[in-house]
Amino acid sequence: MSDQEEWAEQKELENSNQQIGQLVAKDGKWAKSFLESWLKEKNYNYSLIDFKVSASDKYGIADWEASDYKITSLLKDYISQKNGKLYYQDGTQETEIEKIIIQHSTGTPSLTSALYLWGMEKKLAGYLVEFLYISEEEGYLYEETITHEVNHWQWHLQLPLIRKLLAIKDFSGALELVKDAPFNSSQIELIKDRLINLDKAVSFNLIEKKLKTKEDILERIAIALWSEQSFREVEHWMHWYLRIAGAFELALLFLIEHQRSLLIGQKNNDSYTTYEWETSNFFPKLVFEFELEEARKKKQKINIEKISINDLVQKLLTKGSYQHLHKFEDTNKDKQEKEIELQVSKIIDTEWNDFVNKFYCQNWKIGQGSQLGFCSLRNKLYHNLCGDKLDRDLDAVQASEVVERLKYILKLSGIVEEIDRKIQVYQEQYESLMKDLF
């Protein structure tokens, strides 16, 4: 029950103003009688809270910002939260609150607005809150009162937070808020579907798409490139590194396939077999298939991605040849080893030498004088959990330069246009979603 009498008396002494009297006339204390009648009629247990305005306050409860602060502070003294429930505290007695009713038909505009916002905050937190407007005329209550749930404003208060989550590609968090939308509609269902699809994509959960092996890998590279900037901007470097490092390794496999095809074209010899993509246990891989006379099973396969990434880059792609020690069973089922030469058309390019020797494999200057290869960071993350040091070091370099290095590999591999098309599809879905939530 707001009470500005002391404040009003002080202000009238300072400056006679009829408007002060009009403001005080809206105080809750004058509505006490008919509010209590309504509460008793509904058989509600209740306790009135006095809210006296100090004479030293400059604007009383006509101060919008101060009213919000004062109401919040006042209610904290009476209402507490424990284990997901609200309790009313009156002295030593504590009573569980079943439902909060925000009555906004009396009081000054600033005070009722503060209560209105406080109630919406609690409603958004999942508590049972109703909003009530009671009409009074000549001391009599209308038989009907208007209760409402402020669904419209509840949704619009959530929208800015949803947009912020979308800005950092946190589709899962945004989906949880949209699931709590206070109303259902075809548009809300469409938004939910889009969020689910984008959340699966940004989490690399693509199994349901049932893509062919090569398409699946292209899709994963595109998603990594499409989403990396969001992680970069908020400096979540471990998440960022995982995406970019994975995209590099997949892109380098495409480059090996591409350079193998170039070699076959240069040799013009049908005896040279291509490297093929296949899937085993959901994991895509690039394999070299060949025949070995002395082997029990003449057809043999070498899984390219199981070879050290440094050897693939520094030897196979840079020199055009790599001697792989292949293990197999001979016709007597004895275990044997034999060196098999893997060949591709070697890359002759000054930028490639810089990529290999001053970035990917060694001598990349990062952080406090460290000179590691980009791919070496992966092992440090996996084995040492040094995400904090990675954060510190990557803060000191231009991560966008790393992305440009990745795009260079995509260009050499001849897959830039395919990747760009896939990125554009995700970007259009994202922009359409942001437009729907504007």
Q: What are the tokens at 362? A: 């060694």
Residue 141 pLDDT: 47
d(CA 258, CA 412): 8
Task: Please count the other Cβ atoms lying within 10 Å of the Cβ belonging to residue 301.
Answer: 14
Q: What is the DSSP string of 323-352?
A: EEEEEEEBTTS-EEEEEEEEE-PPP--HHH
What does the DSSP 8-state code read for residue 184? -
Quick: pLDDT tens for 302-336: 999 889 999 999 999 999 999 999 999 988 889 99
Tell me the three state secondary structure of residue 306: helix
Of 47-56, 220-229, 278-287, 366-375, the poorest mean pLDDT is in 366-375
Confidence of residue 66 (pLDDT cuts 50, 70, 90): confident
d(CA 174, CA 197): 12
What does the DSSP 8-state code read for residue 361? S
Quick: pLDDT tens for 278-311: 876 667 789 999 888 888 888 899 999 889 999 9
Beta bridge partners of 290: 300
Beta bridge partners of 131: 102, 148
- The answer for residues whose C-beta is within 8 angstroms of residue 78's C-beta and 6 or more apart is 49, 88, 89, 90
Tell me the three state secondary structure of residue 5: helix
Residue pair 24/49 in contact by the 8 Å Cβ criterion: no
**Domain coordinates in residue numbering, the chain:** 2-149, 154-203, 207-430
Beta bridge partners of 288: 302
Residue of 240, 216, 220, 244 lying closest to 230 (CA atoms): 240
**Buried-state track 345-355, b at ≥16 Cβ within 10 A, e below 16:** bbbeeeebeeb
Amino acid, res. 136? E
Quick: pLDDT tens for 223-235: 999 999 888 888 8
Question: Does the structure show a pLDDT above 80 at 155?
Answer: no
Whether the full predicted model's pTM is greater than 0.85, yes or no, is: no
